């Protein structure tokens, strides 16, 4: 899972709290890759604090080049998984967000990236931090 953030440490903290409530299938081996897109606030500290108490792997990656594409490409390059999912620091994931989409992904090779959490497509219930 790749989470992109830029100068939104307080929003990020809320998003990470939602991650701690995710229902994770026991057979799923996954990590949260937090890509900091050159933040000047306390984003790194928020990530470190969360990683220390997390029940799953959290890795911090710094993307110095500004821009969403640069941050996502940095995350993709650092990712270790076979399937990549993306979210942002202003999204509070539903507890079933990680387990439900996996039921729908067939056991075939996936060649295209997609955004599983997109309210406009009615995929999974998402709540945005305001």
Could you tell me the pTM of the whole model? 0.77
Q: Which of the 8 DSSP states describes residue 121?
A: G
Q: Which residue has the higher pLDDT, 109 or 39?
A: 39
Percent of the chain with pLDDT over 70: 77
Per-residue pLDDT at 81: 85
Average pLDDT for 20-43:
93
Average pLDDT for 126-130:
40
Which residue, among 60, 64, 61, has the nearest Cα to 52 in the 3D structure?
Answer: 60
> pLDDT tens for residues 68-126?
999 999 999 999 988 888 999 999 999 988 887 656 555 544 444 444 444 443 444 44
Domains, the chain = 2-128 (3.90.550.10)
Joined tokens for residue 111: 């060649």
> Which residue is associated with the tokens 């202003």?
90
Per-residue pLDDT at 90: 93
Residues with Cβ within 8 Å of 85's Cβ and at least 6 positions away in sequence, in order, are 1, 2, 98, 101, 115, 116, 117
Which residue, among 56, 55, 75, has the nearest Cα to 6 in the 3D structure?
Answer: 75
């Amino acid at each position: 899972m790749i989470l992109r953030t830029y100068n939104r440490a307080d929003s990020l903290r809320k998003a990470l709290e939602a991650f701690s409530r995710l229902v994770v299938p026991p057979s799923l081996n996954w990590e949260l890759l937090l890509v900091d897109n050159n933040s000047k606030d306390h984003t790194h500290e928020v990530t470190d604090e969360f990683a220390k108490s997390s029940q799953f792997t959290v890795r911090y990656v710094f993307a110095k080049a500004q821009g969403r594409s640069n941050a996502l490409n940095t995350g993709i390059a650092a990712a270790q998984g076979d399937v990549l999912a993306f979210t942002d620091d202003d999204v509070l994931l539903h507890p079933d967000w990680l387990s439900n989409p996996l039921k729908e992904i067939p056991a075939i090779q996936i060649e295209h990236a997609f955004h599983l959490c997109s309210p406009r497509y009615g995929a999974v219930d998402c709540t945005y931090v305001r």
